[in-house]
């Protein structure tokens, strides 16, 4: 059996949740576990987040799985519902919904006879990202409609999402738009994603919505997760399955993308893009072998990749490999590959076996 494996560390999840509370001590925490808990496995990861005040998911099936597993916290559908039967199921199981378009408002207004219970609504404003939500000039009227709707609980939450919380542009303009539009409205507020939690304390308010930071990766390009005290939750590992010795001028792998300048010992590792490792990772992407940092060589294949072990004479067949984790931050692999840690964590393939520790 191939030795490739992804390990989910629940103790690291608990630690990262504590970091969220350290940054936002007065806020409730809605742990975002969409995309199968960012690739970690929804029901594998959720025990490490059981002390969160709520969970944010994308699909109704995810919310139902959490509810059926005994989680009584707030469960929020981050894109809301798209059909009347979903609305009824959400109401029956006490699941909260985001409302971000006119059709969803109308669905609530027309659903009263069928609903077993009214729903908690998080009403979303489009404060500049132009993805989901009501424009500020329409927002007040929608608040009034929801307040008057028997299908909606009185504890409405007002929310928005920031496009540039992670860079130098910050959130001043969209935050000002949101504050001006909602001034005087007697409702709770949820604005802060991971980057906002870490960089913009003025926008924490009543509910924060951490995502990537819970899994030990950084939402801020160029700033390591360890800088914020975060710990990696996933360790992606494999082993060396063969060793090749290249002479000067010999090439390696598809496309001959690496050419040896001197004699080079090469580890062939049981992991490829079919396992979720980025095919576009270039020569020099960090990797750890037997606990020592090295670098990848050549093009990533479907089932294999290569690393330089010239400087590691003890490394050979059976040597342990960390693709990312405690020694090699997932953000370092992502940065080398021109992407973000979010994508790599979410892309670990179903054929990779998972183990839970902690």
- Domains of the chain are 10-217 (3.20.20.10), 234-357 (2.40.37.10)
285 in Cβ contact with 296 (< 8 Å): yes
**What is residue 336's predicted lDDT score, i.e. its pLDDT?**
97
**What is residue 79's predicted lDDT score, i.e. its pLDDT?**
98
**What is residue 163's predicted lDDT score, i.e. its pLDDT?**
94
**What is residue 114's predicted lDDT score, i.e. its pLDDT?**
78
**Along the 358 residues of the chain, how does pLDDT read in single tens digits?**
789 999 999 999 999 999 999 999 999 999 999 999 999 999 999 999 999 999 999 999 999 999 999 999 999 999 999 999 999 999 999 999 999 999 999 999 998 777 889 999 999 999 999 999 999 999 999 999 999 999 999 999 999 999 999 998 999 999 999 999 999 999 999 999 999 999 999 999 999 999 999 999 999 988 999 999 999 999 999 999 999 999 999 999 999 999 999 999 999 999 999 999 999 999 999 999 999 999 999 999 999 999 999 999 999 999 999 999 999 999 999 999 999 999 999 999 999 999 999 9
3-state per-residue secondary structure call for 229-274: CCCCCEEEEEEEEEEEEECCCCEECHHHCEECCCCEEEEEECCCHH
Given the residues 144, 147, 254, 355, select the one marked as catalytic.
Answer: 254
Active site residue 254: yes
- The Cα 123–Cα 80 span in angstroms is 10
Given the residues 34, 124, 205, 273, select the one marked as catalytic.
Answer: 34
In terms of pTM, does the model score above 0.85?
A: yes
**What is residue 2's predicted lDDT score, i.e. its pLDDT?**
83
Active site residue 277: no
3-state per-residue secondary structure call for the chain: CCCCEEEEEHHHHHHHHHHHHHHCCCCEEEEECHHHHHCCCHHHHHHHHCCCCEEEECCHHHHHHHHHCCCCCEEEECCCCCCHHHHHHHHHCCCEEEECCHHHHHHHHHCHHHCCCCECEEEEECCCCCCCCECHHHHHHHHHHHHHCCCECCCCEEECCCCCCCCCCCCHHHHHHHHHHHCCCCCEEEEECHHHHHHCHHHCCCEECCCHHHHCCCCCCCCCHHHHCCCCCEEEEEEEEEEEEECCCCEECHHHCEECCCCEEEEEECCCHHHCCCCCCCCCCEEEECCEEEEEECCCCCCCEEEECCCCCCCCCCCEEEEECCCCCHHHHHHHCCCCHHHHHHCCCCCCCEEEEC
- The Cα 298–Cα 55 span in angstroms is 41
């Amino acid at each position: 059996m191939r030795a490739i494996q992804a390990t989910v560390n629940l103790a690291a999840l608990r630690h990262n949740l504590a970091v969220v509370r350290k940054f936002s001590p007065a806020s409730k925490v809605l742990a975002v576990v969409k995309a199968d808990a960012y690739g970690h496995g929804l029901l594998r990861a959720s025990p490490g987040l059981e002390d969160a005040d709520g969970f944010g998911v994308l699909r109704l099936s995810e919310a139902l799985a959490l509810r059926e597993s005994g989680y009584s916290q707030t469960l929020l559908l981050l894109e809301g519902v798209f059909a009347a039967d979903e609305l009824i199921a959400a109401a029956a199981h006490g699941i909260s919904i985001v409302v971000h378009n006119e059709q969803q408002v109308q669905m609530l207004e027309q659903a009263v006879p069928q609903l077993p219970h009214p729903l908690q609504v998080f009403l979303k404003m489009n404060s500049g990202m132009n993805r989901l939500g009501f424009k500020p000039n329409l927002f007040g009227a929608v608040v009034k409609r929801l307040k008057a709707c028997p299908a909606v609980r009185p504890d409405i939450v007002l929310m928005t999402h920031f496009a540039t919380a992670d860079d130098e542009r910050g959130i001043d303009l969209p935050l000002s738009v949101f504050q001006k539009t909602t001034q005087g409205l007697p409702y709770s507020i949820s604005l802060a994603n991971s980057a906002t939690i870490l960089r913009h304390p003025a926008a924490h308010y009543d509910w924060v919505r951490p995502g990537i930071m819970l899994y030990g990766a950084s939402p801020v390009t160029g700033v390591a997760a360890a800088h914020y005290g975060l710990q990696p939750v996933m360790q992606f590992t494999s082993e060396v399955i063969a060793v090749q010795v290249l002479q000067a001028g010999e090439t390696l792998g598809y496309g001959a993308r690496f050419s040896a300048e001197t004699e080079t010992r090469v580890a062939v590792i049981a992991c490829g893009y079919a396992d979720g490792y980025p095919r576009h990772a270039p020569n020099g992407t960090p990797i750890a072998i037997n606990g020592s940092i090295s670098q990848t060589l050549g093009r990533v294949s479907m089932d294999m990749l290569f690393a330089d072990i010239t400087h590691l004479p003890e490394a050979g067949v059976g040597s342990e490999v960390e693709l990312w984790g405690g020694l090699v931050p997932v953000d370092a692999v992502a940065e080398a590959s021109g992407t973000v840690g979010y994508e790599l964590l979410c892309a670990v393939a179903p054929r990779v076996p998972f183990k839970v520790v902690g």
